[in-house]
Amino acid sequence: MNRVCAFVFATSLCMASAGVTLADDAVQVASGEAKVLFNGTDLTGWSGDPRLWTVRDGVIHGETTVDVAATGNTFLIWEGGKVSNFELEVSFRCNSTNNSGIQYRSKHITGFSAKNKWVVRGYQHEIRNQNVFPDVSGFIYDEGGKRGRICAAGEKAVWNAGGKESIGTLIDQVGFEKLMKLNDWNQVRIVAKGNHIQHYLNGTLILDFTDNEPKLTLSEGILALQLHAGNPMFAEFKDIRLKTIK
């Protein structure tokens, strides 16, 4: 038993004897250590189109131009393996000429159908430099899939075999405008446990989604960052940390 596990075990015994229950979140924090996925210097551990992805001033910089364009949506793929149940923190900023995204529980697509070497499909946390619903950061998009916008920013929803049911509102237009920092850095936190997914923006829960669609639910897959085809754009990312949870 390592020191962390021993500490959690001993603490649990003490709290139990006092009639106190240790919360699941507390156990997760104690038993999991966040892994830094970007070293701030280069793209070691990541794979993407070298024409489009670089490191500038200590951040990941992805950019398309008129002369250097993306052939289809393209991604910077983390090479550390698949993720299942996790907490992911990422800070981002971008311009408003196009959109970007954070892929998770996704699949790297290769072969004849792929428009480039870095095509990814799966759950996407949308990234936009916009604050007017519905075209904002934070919604779940089914990149390369059948369902399009799976769950909107500000929405609590469940997707069953018969389709999506909205069951609540977490933030409205006015609240989102106050929360989102245009032309500046914003922090994303994605929590995925089983079929339950939550998106946070700058510390506030903005999406709560349960995916009960038996044929389309994604339980594990890779992480990646997106540059969208079309209008020239840039997107930047830093402070990327991953914690595995149980």
Q: Provide the CATH number for the domain around residue 70.
A: 2.60.120.560
- pLDDT value, residue 25: 38
Question: CA-CA distances (angstroms) from residue 193 to 37, 161, 198?
Answer: 20, 20, 9
- pLDDT value, residue 3: 46
Read off the pTM: 0.87
| C-alpha to C-alpha distance for 104 and 108, rounded to whole angstroms | 11
Q: Do 23 and 79 lie in a common domain?
A: no
Q: Do 76 and 122 lie in a common domain?
A: yes
| C-alpha to C-alpha distance for 38 and 241, rounded to whole angstroms | 8
Q: Do 92 and 199 lie in a common domain?
A: yes
Chain-centre distance of CA 219, in angstroms? 14
Q: Do 113 and 11 lie in a common domain?
A: no
104-114 burial code (b ≥16 CB/10 A, e <16): bbbbbbeeeeb
| C-alpha to C-alpha distance for 38 and 237, rounded to whole angstroms | 9
Phi, psi of 153 (to 5 degrees): -65, 135
Q: Do 169 and 207 lie in a common domain?
A: yes
Q: Do 100 and 160 lie in a common domain?
A: yes
Query: How many distinct structural domains can be found in the chain?
Result: 2
pLDDT in tens, the chain (246 residues): 544 444 444 444 443 433 333 333 333 333 478 999 999 999 999 999 999 999 999 999 999 999 999 999 999 999 999 999 999 999 999 999 999 999 999 999 999 889 999 999 999 999 999 999 999 999 999 999 999 999 999 999 999 999 999 999 999 999 999 999 999 999 999 999 999 999 999 999 999 999 999 999 999 999 999 999 999 999 999 999 999 998
Q: Do 103 and 213 lie in a common domain?
A: yes
16: containing domain: 1-31
Q: Do 158 and 103 lie in a common domain?
A: yes
Q: Do 72 and 56 meet the contact criterion of CB atoms below 8 Å apart?
A: no
